A and B are shown apart, each in its own frame.
Chain A
Amino acid sequence: MPDFVIDLFDNFWVALGGKLALVALMIPLIGMAIGFAEMKLSAKMQHRVGPYFAGGRWGWAQLIADGVKFFQKEDLIPEEADRPVFKIAPIFVLMGTVALFVVIPFGPGLIFRDLSVGVFYALAISSISTIGILMAGWSSANKYSLMGGLRAAGQLIAYELPLVLAVVGSIILAGTMSMSGIVEAQIDAGYPYVIFQVVGFAVFMIASLAELSRIPFDMPIAESELVMGYLTEYTGFRFLFFFLAEFANMFTLSAIAVTLFLGGYWLPGIPADTLEFAGPVILLGKVFILVFVMIWFRWTFPRFREDQLQTLAWKWLIPIALANIMITATLKVFL
C-alpha cells in the first residue's frame, strides 16, 4: 500500500470513519445473505423452489427487490403513538447489532477494537436491543404491540442470564475476557473449547435463539396470536431496520459462539502464518454452519408456550449453566 494511504489511516478519525463504513456495508450484505439463505432453505425443506424469478436465476435478487419495496412504502405512524420513541426504537435495535461487530475477531489483528472485557461488552451491549423492542411495543399505542413488547421483555431478560452464565466456562478456561485473547488461548491449547464446554455451548445456542426471538422462541412476535407483536405498527424503512437487525444479530451471536467455543478464526492443522488470510474465511464458514442450524431449527419446531419458555430458562438452563461453571472452575483449579 502507498505510504500516504497508511498515513491517512493512522489518523484516528479517518480510521474510525473507514471502520464505520465497513460495518455499515457489512450489515445489509450479511442481512441479505442470511435472509436469502433462509428463504431458499426453508423452501427446500417444504418441497418448494423458493425465490425464482427476481434476478433471472435462482431469484438471487429477491432480497434486493424486497429492500426496494420497503423504500417505496409509506412511513405510517399511528395517531396515538408516542412519536419520538416510536421513531427511534428501530435505531436502538439496530444499534445493539452494530455495536456487537466491534469485538468480533475476524482474524489475527483483524478486529475493530480488541477490548480487554470484550465478552462482557458484547453481552452487555446486546441488551440494548431489548430496550429498543420494549420502546417499540410501548410507543405503538396498540394492544398487540404492547403484549409483544412485554413478552419480549420477559423473554429477553430471562434468557440473558443463561447466555451470560454459559460463556463463563470458556472465560475460566481461557483466563481472559478479550475476544481475540480467547481465540489465542484456544490456539495455544490446541483444541476448541467446545470439547470441554459442550454444555455451555448448547446452553449458549438455545439462549441465543431465544434472544433472537426466532421460532421456537418467537412468543413476542407470534403471528397467530399477536399479529406481529411489537412490529405490528411498523412499515417501510423502520420495519426493514428490525428485519436487518434480526438477521445481522443471527450473524453476530453465531460469531460470538464461534469465537468462544469453536476456536474462532482458527482450525486445527492450519499453519498460523496463513491465518491472516484464511482466518476470515474460516470464521465465516463456521458462522454460516451455526446460522444454518438456526434456520433448520426454525423450520422444524413449533412455538413454545409462554410458561414453557420461562420454565426452560429458569428451571433448566440457568441451573445447568451454574453447574457447568462450578465444575469447570473446580477442574481448572485441581487439574
Chain B
Amino acid sequence: MTTSNGRRSFPGMGMTKGLWVTLSTMFKTIFLPNKHLLTVNYPKEKETPVPRARGVIALDQEACTVCMLCARQCPDWCIYIEGHKEEQAPAEPGGRIKVRAELDRFDIDYALCMYCGICVEVCPFDALFWSPEYEFSEEHMGDMLHDKERLQGWLATVPDAPGLEK
C-alpha cells in the first residue's frame, strides 16, 4: 500500500502512528509538565504579552488636537470626542490671537470596540497607542466606557517603540 506522499506503508500504520502521538503526548505532559504543558494557570500565572500585543488603547491628551479623524474612521463609532476652542494671548502685543483646540471629552467604549486599531493607525499626531494591558473587565457594561483620564493612565504601560527596520 502507498500513502498519499508515495511512500510504502502497512495498512493501519497511520492509525498506529496517531495512537502513538496521543499516548506519548499524554505521558510527556504528565511527567514533564514544565516542558510540555502549553497552557498557563491564568489568574495565578501570567504570560508576558508579545511586544506589539493589542491589549488596550492609550491616549496622550497633550498630543490630541481634536481633529476627530479617529472618531470618523472608527467602524463601531465607539469613540466619543468633544472639544472647544480656546483663545490664547498673541505672542507679542498687537499680534493675531492664537486659537487652540482643547479636549473636553475623549471616551472609548470598550464594550463596542473590536480592537481593529484603525484609530491608532489614522491618528496624525501620535496621540493613540497600543498598550499590552488586557485586564480591564468590569461587572457592568457601562463601566467599559473609559474616559480620557483612564485612557491617559494606560499611557504609562505603553512600551517604547521598537527600532526601525533597516
- B-side contacts of A41, CB under 8 Å: 26
Q: How many residues of A are counted as interface, with CB atoms below 8 angstroms from the partner's CB atoms?
A: 14
- Most B-side CB within 10 Å, residue of A44, A297, A301: A44
Query: Contacts of A49 on B, CB cut-off 8 Å?
Result: 33, 37, 39, 41
* Closest residue of A by beta carbon distance from B40: A49
Please report which residues of chain A, range 296-334, place their CB below 8 angstroms from some CB of chain B when the two chains form the complex: 296-297, 299-301
Report the separation of the CA atoms of residues A127 and B22 in the bound assembly, to the nearest whole angstrom: 32
Most chain B Cβ neighbours within 10 Å, of A43, A47, A297, A301 = A47
Would A48 and B18 count as touching, CB distance under 8 A?
Answer: no
Contact of B23 with A by CB under 8 A: yes
B25 at the interface (CB under 8 A from A): yes
How many residue pairs between the two chains, A and B, have CB atoms under 8 Å in the bound complex? 39
Q: Does B98 contact A (CB under 8 A)?
A: no
Say whether A301 contacts B39, CB under 8 Å. no
Q: How many residues of B contact A (CB 8 A)?
A: 16
Answer yes or no: B38 CB below 8 A from chain A CBs: yes
Provide the residues of chain A in CB contact with B26, threshold 8 Å. Answer: 41, 44-45
Q: Residue A46 at the B interface, CB < 8 A?
A: yes
Residue A52, interface by CB 8 Å? yes
Q: Does B72 contact A (CB under 8 A)?
A: no
Q: How far is the CA of A47 from the CA of B39 in the complex (A)?
A: 7
Q: What's the nearest-Cβ distance from chain B to residue A56, in Å?
A: 13
The CA of A250 and the CA of B21, in the complex, are separated in Å by: 24
Chain A positions within 8 Å of B37 at CB level: 47-49
Instruction: Return the chain A residue nearest B39 by Cβ.
Output: A48
* Interface residues in B7-49 (C-beta closer than 8 Å to A): 15, 18-19, 21-23, 25-26, 29-30, 33, 36-39, 41
Check B22–A45 contact: CB distance below 8 A: yes
How distant is B34 from chain A, measured CB to nearest CB, in Å? Answer: 12
Q: Given A296-B23, A300-B22, A301-B15, A44 and B30 touching (CB < 8 A)?
A: yes
Q: Are B29 and A47 in contact (CB under 8 A)?
A: yes
Chain B residue with the shortest CB-CB distance to A293 = B19
Q: Which residues of B contact A301 (CB under 8 A)?
A: 15, 18
Closest-CB distance, B161 to chain A (whole angstroms)? 34
Write the chain A residue with the least CB distance to B21.
Answer: A300
**Which residues from chain A contact B18 at a C-beta distance below 8 Å?**
300-301
A48/B38 in contact, CB under 8 A: yes
In the complex, the chain B residue whose C-beta lies closest to that of A298 is: B22
B23 — nearest CB in chain A belongs to which residue?
A296
Provide the residues of chain A in CB contact with B39, threshold 8 Å.
Answer: 47-49
Q: Kindly identify, within residues 35 to 73 of chain A, every residue whose CB is under 8 Å from any CB belonging to chain B.
A: 41, 43-49, 52
The residues of A that contact B19 with a CB separation of less than 8 Å are 296-297, 300
Q: Cβ of B38: which chain A residues have Cβ within 8 Å of it?
A: 47-48
Q: Cβ of A299: which chain B residues have Cβ within 8 Å of it?
A: 22
Report chain A residues within 8 Å CB of B25.
44-47
Q: How far is the CA of A47 from the CA of B32 in the complex (A)?
A: 11
Q: Which residue of B lies closest to A43 (CB)?
A: B29
How many angstroms between the C-alpha atoms of A332 and B36 in the bound complex? 52
Complex interface: chain A residues within 8 A of B23 (CB): 45, 296
Q: Chain B residues with Cβ under 8 A from A45's Cβ?
A: 22-23, 25-26, 29
* CB atoms of B41 and A52 under 8 A apart: yes
The answer to whether B41 touches A296 (Cβ under 8 A) is no
Q: What's the least CB distance linking B94 to chain A, in Å?
A: 73
Q: Please name 6 further chain A to chain B contacts, defined as beta carbons within 8 Å, in addition to the given A47-B37, A300-B15, A300-B21, sorted by A numbering.
A: A44-B30, A47-B36, A49-B33, A49-B41, A299-B22, A301-B18
Interface residues of A (CB under 8 A from B): 41, 43-49, 52, 296-297, 299-301
